[in-house]
Amino acid sequence: MKVLANSPVRIAASVLGLVILLHFLATFTHDGYARATSIQRFATSTAVEKIVTPHQDPENSPVYTRVNATFVILCRNDQLWDTIRSVREIEDKFNHKYHYPYVFLNEVPFDEEFKYRLKTMASSTTEFGLIPREHWFQPDWIDEDKASKSRDKMQSENIIYGGSLSYRNMCRFNSGFFFRHPLMEKYKWYWRIEPDVHFHCNILIDPFRYMEEHNKVYAFTISMVEYEATIPTLWGHVKGRIPCRLFAFCVLDFIKLHPEFVEKKTLWASYQTMAPGIGTICAIVLWSNFEIANMEFWRGEAYMKFFEYLDSQGGFYYERWGDAPVHSIAAALFASRDQIHFFDEIGYEHAPYTHCPKEGDNWARGKCTCKPDNNFDFDGISCLNKFQNFMKQA
Ligand SMILES: Nc1nc2c(ncn2[C@@H]2O[C@H](COP(=O)(O)OP(=O)(O)O)[C@@H](O)[C@H]2O)c(=O)[nH]1
Ligand SMILES: [Mg+2]
């Protein structure tokens, strides 16, 4: 014992003990010191684009640096409880490990209860933004007579949301403005979430990181053919008056004006390989209530010109153009096919449709609560099969 008492080991242990004791004393007595030395500081540090660690799982990584990304939720105050459930699910299945921030947007101020309860639910920063008037409401140059006639007609034809003006404001906002909101400007990536959606599986990767590392632009879980009656002239304005069962006139004109923006190996190129005819579906519509995407794509010249062109045609109000077909057509024109990603492993439900993981052991790995058979992927109006076939094209 005497020998041990005087050994270098004993001396080193004493010094180490003293250092640890001083560290704890300083942590409790000096806030600044505690913040500077806290591991938590790294976990919750400001989002940066640079990836500094090869680790994929923050639980096994002492320093996990998030990608420059945010969740974005557009909703009304009266959707408080549906929004809480969506946030609780994404926290449980993913974000309690990553702490990505949330931006909530609304055309009227969020009330105090909404803010209090959502702040409580989130494991990260929450920001609540008011949408500028000019980003939301029907512009003055829209002929209200023509617009209201169209709403009445669509309503009488029982077209979903056909008579709704606020739905049209929402679609136009999601098409052309959400990524320009001051609270969104600092972020590169977003994951759109809606009230009352469900995430059925544990999400074992960071989808934002996946997108960044694989040079993706746009990701989806559910795709389908669009309800033609809501967009009768959208398609033609992009390339010319080519008859097409789904989008009659609009997207085609734009391509004539701006062929320079259209990429080479696109979904658009794949559409050209399809046989024309009754039931030809001109575009795969990626269901935009779930979106993970790069906002630099929307903010870039091609999409901004595209949106401004479509907006100037008035179709958000004279028809009922949705943000899903608008985003999908833009992705099909201005991104290459391999920049569009299908996340099989993210089990997702927006009533009445569910995507349930089915590739490999994705269902088991995610411990999913959805039934693989109850899967919109196999539905007759799903476009997944077509998308996956197009992806195999050279
Ligand atoms: N602030 C606000 N959000 C809206 C309004 N209408 C729809 N939303 C949001 O826009 C998104 C899409 O609307 P939703 O009613 O779910 O449309 P659907 O998914 O196409 O049936 C959801 O996140 C809604 O909360 C509105 O008038 N004001
Ligand atoms: Mg919805």
Provide the mean pLDDT of the chain.
Answer: 83
Query: Smallest Cα–Cα separation from 263: which of 220, 231, 306?
Result: 306
Mean pLDDT of 319-345: 94
Beta strands in the chain (DSSP E): 69-74, 102-106, 126-130, 189-192, 198-199, 218-220, 223-224, 285-286, 291-294, 340-342, 348-350, 353-355
Cβ 266 vs Cβ 239: under 8 Å: no
pLDDT at 9: 52
Tokens matching residue 286? 């990626």
Confirm or reject: Cβ of 75 under 6 Å from ligand 1: yes
* Residue numbers annotated as active site: 291
Mean pLDDT of 160-183: 97
In the predicted structure, residue 237 carries a pLDDT above the cut 80: no
Q: Quote the ligand 2 centre to 351 CA distance (angstroms).
A: 8
Q: Look up the pTM and report it.
A: 0.83
Confirm or reject: Cβ of 170 under 6 Å from ligand 1: yes
pLDDT at 256: 82
pLDDT in tens, 5-33: 445 556 555 555 555 555 444 444 443 34
Crossing angle of helices 112-121 and 80-90, in 10° steps, is 10
CA-to-CA distance for 158 and 169, rounded, in angstroms?
Answer: 19
May I ask the CATH architecture of the domain 69-392?
Alpha-Beta Complex (3.90)
Residues 50, 56, 58, 61, CA torsion sign: negative
Strand pairing report for 189-192 and 69-74 = parallel
Any idea where the domains of the chain sit in the sequence?
A: 69-392
pLDDT in tens, 27-51: 444 433 443 343 333 333 333 333 3
- 3-class DSSP assignment, residue 291: strand
pLDDT at 313: 87
Q: Quote the ligand 1 centre to 351 CA distance (angstroms).
A: 13
pLDDT at 298: 98
Tell me the residue type at 235: W
